[in-house]
A and B are shown apart, each in its own frame.
Chain A
Amino acid sequence: MTTIPDDLRYTSDHEWLRRDEANPDEAVIGITDFAQDQLGDVVYLDLPAPGDEISAGDRFGEIESVKTVSDLYAPISGEVLAANGELEEQPELVNDSPYDEGWLIRVRIADESELDDLLDADAYGAQLPAS
């Protein structure tokens, strides 16, 4: 059974976004449990560097598993503040802990209204294929 935390926002491309409670103009982005399960063992990530700009709906990097390679799409627009450096040595954190230790990037939110375009947990879960 795939995990879909209630407190996150989602894209139909299987990225999640967590708004930082302490710094509400910042957000952390990752891929969902469903996505990591579909990819299988993650072995390589190509993530943007701090200072790069990402744009809602556009490709911001790629994630590669033993089986396949997949593009990463930005849930919102903003400036990249950090990428998860732990993933360089331990890409499997994306599989083991997709919503926590396996986070991908931290961004400064450029346009708060874009958050309204994201899915809540129920809406994201409803559009997953029935298993």
Chain B
Amino acid sequence: MGGLKRLVLRERHEALGARFAPFAGWEMPLQYGGIVGEHEAVRERVGVFDVSHLARAWVEGPQAATQLRSVTTFDVTTLPVGKAHYSLYCNEAGGIEDDVFIYHLPGDRWLVIHNAANADADFERVQAVAGDAASDVTPETVMLAVQGPDAVALLSNVLGEGFAALEARDCAELDWNGTPVLVARTGYTGEDGGECIVGADRAADIWDALTEGGASPAGLGARDTLRLEAALPLHGNDIDETTHPFEAGLGFAVTLDDEAPFTGREALAALKAEPRTRRLAHLKAQERGVLRSGYAVHAPDEEEPVARLTSGAFSPSLRIGIGMAYLPVQLASPGVTLEVDVRGRALPVEVVRRPFYRKPRQS
């Protein structure tokens, strides 16, 4: 796999029997033991993912908030210190160039998490407005996601009371035996948990503390089935520059009630006012079979497909095929039944509410 970036913790993954696959320019662990087992470990206990392929950029200084606001859809100037929020980078037409997470840390320091596939363009976008106040720390740091019902207890054990005090979407910089660790109570699996960013030189220590503390290593395969069950979109599949936030169900990440200019504002205001023509819908198979990205979705008695799946998978939790597709609004309501062409077999599917999987309430 020439030309691919290697993870700092490559040897740890190899020792655990990881199978690697290229993803967005990185050689990433796809799975260790098996995707279903890793998925179940996260749903039932706790798993750890090396997500260091995600790009990490700092924007610092008193102007950082307004600089970021000018390129992102969510009004980050209202984001309190110690909070993280989901946002989007849109183009002038309102199309989604990337989805990002923005952390507000003390001292006018902001960290932005970019998708690996868009890392270069995203950093240029930030640098264009922030100049030297923007810095890319992707190569010298490692990012780990710890997810599952036991994740908060494990992270609190390893990182101490500082983590235990965090509430959902809080972020903080903690001292871990003299090493600064940036943590946030965030994730991409539909489970509770957190993400930590640590300097590359101490990454193996924290990985070891987490795995020895009971976290099962989990790869990109399980990350994909988990996020799809949670109905979280993947940029490049379910959202891209040809889709806009409102039809993708991401209106919560777009602030239009302030006056601040940002890229795509005019187009997004117009799109918001227009009736939707299509909506990202959630499809659940009614018979055995696996849905996969690209498969055609058919309405009964119609020759031409009404959509193609933007994502699809076998759901290990529901033990049935699940997928997403942009359906014409009249077909995008829960209860509508359609068919997906699974290599020549018409597999009946039903439109369902998101998410596909919701974790059981703590009793």
Contacts and interface: CB of A to CB of B under 8 A. Distances in A.
Interface footprint category on B: 10 to 19
Contacts of B319: 43
A91 to B, nearest CB: 9
B343 A43 contact: no
Interface in B273-290: 288-290
A92 B35 CA distance: 12
A44 interface: yes
B313 interface: yes
A41 B288 contact: no
A120 B314 CA distance: 35
A67 B221 contact: yes
A109 B85 CA distance: 64
**Chain B contact residues: over half helix, strand or loop, or mixed?**
mixed
Given A40-B31, A44-B290, A66 B36 contact: yes
Contacts of A64: 289-290, 314
Interface residues of A, number: 13
A123 interface: no
A44 B31 contact: no
B289 A44 contact: yes
A66 B34 CA distance: 9
A69 interface: yes
Given A66-B221, A69-B290, A43 B31 contact: no
Interface in B296-339: 313-314, 316, 319
Contacts of A43: 36, 290, 314, 319
Contacts of A62: 343
Nearest to A95: B34
20 contacts: A40-B34, A40-B35, A41-B34, A41-B36, A41-B316, A43-B290, A43-B319, A44-B288, A44-B289, A46-B345, A64-B289, A66-B35, A66-B36, A66-B221, A66-B290, A66-B313, A67-B221, A69-B290, A88-B288, A92-B36
Interface of A: 40-41, 43-44, 46, 62, 64, 66-67, 69, 88, 92, 95
